[in-house]
Amino acid sequence: MAAQMEKSQAMKRDSIATARMLSEALPHIQRHDGSIIVIKLGGHAMSSPDAMASFARDIVMMHQCNLKPVIVHGGGPMINAMLEKLEIPTEFKDGKRISTPETVEVVEMVLSGTVNKTIVQAINDQGGRAVGLSGKDAKLLVCDQAEGGLGLVGAPKKVNAGVITAMLDGGFIPVIAPLGAGEQGQTFNVNGDTAAGAIAGGLDADRLLLLTDVAGVKDGEGDVLTNLSAEQVHAMTQSGVISGGMIPKTQTALDAISNGVRAVVILDGRADNACLLELFTDHGAGSMIRA
């Protein structure tokens, strides 16, 4: 009997805490009402069906609260697995894959096919209305060939965002594979973060959320910094505090901000409900970078 009473009291405390959390989320929901939120999906959130289902529930929750989520996804591990399965050799330069025509054919097949439709299905299974497309559709991402001798890697130069805004106005959730079209009809492989940043800028998004496998931008002591200005990011990069794989992510953030995005958040996609924590709570879930 005592155990049952204790369990009942615990459930009541949990219910009260849940109700309080929902009530406290109201001003944040009102603040983001109607806002476009671009989310770069990768890493842990794509690692298992459970993680994908949790992410999809968050996206549908955002949509139900009248936010307008736009998903841009990666898929590096899946591409590597398919290249290995097809016994297609991969060349690297400075640790980056060289995108040959044969490689890009596989990249398009994996990203626009298996990966994109898996995400679309996960969102639809949670009651959303997701539609998959790539940066080639309606010439969404027009690219030049990126410098650096990496082959058919695209550098976005123009975003034709009309196809996305039409979907958003129709109540759909766009899920975008990071491919681009060249002026001569070439297919370009585009870095997922770069594509997300360009699309966020083209949409004048309120937020760009970069889901990663780290907690955010850290200072010299290893502590996560929750709020940063563009000037601070520049200084930390020059001093070496920001280094390695965090450099391209913060550069994506700076580029997006310069193109009109209100704020960029680098956050840990391994955390449960990371997007909801960032958007609908006071403490957030990562490092926010503003102009």
Phi, psi of 231 (to 5 degrees): -65, -40
Per the CB < 8 A criterion, the answer to whether 250 and 194 are in contact is no
Per the CB < 8 A criterion, the answer to whether 146 and 189 are in contact is no
Coil, strand or helix at 192:
helix
Element (H, E) at 211: strand 207-212
Number of Cβ atoms within 10 Å of the Cβ of 120: 21
Both tokens of 126, joined, read 């949670």
Residues 6+ apart with CB under 8 A from 156: 135, 141, 142, 143, 180, 190, 194, 195, 198
Number of Cβ atoms within 10 Å of the Cβ of 224: 16
Beta strands in 74-161 (DSSP E): 92-93, 96-97, 130-134, 141-145, 154-159
Residue with tokens 């034709």: 160
Per the CB < 8 A criterion, the answer to whether 249 and 193 are in contact is yes
Q: Is 128 annotated as a binding residue?
A: no
Q: Is 240 annotated as a binding residue?
A: no
Q: Is 189 annotated as a binding residue?
A: yes
DSSP 155: E
Dihedral of CA 132/138/140/145: which sign?
Answer: positive
> Please, what is the angle between helix 192-202 and helix 246-258, to 10°?
10
Residue 273 vs residues 41, 53, 59, 214, 278: alpha-carbon distances, Å: 13, 11, 10, 15, 9
Residues annotated within the binding site are 75-76, 97, 189
* Binding residue ranges for substrate: 75-76, 97, 189
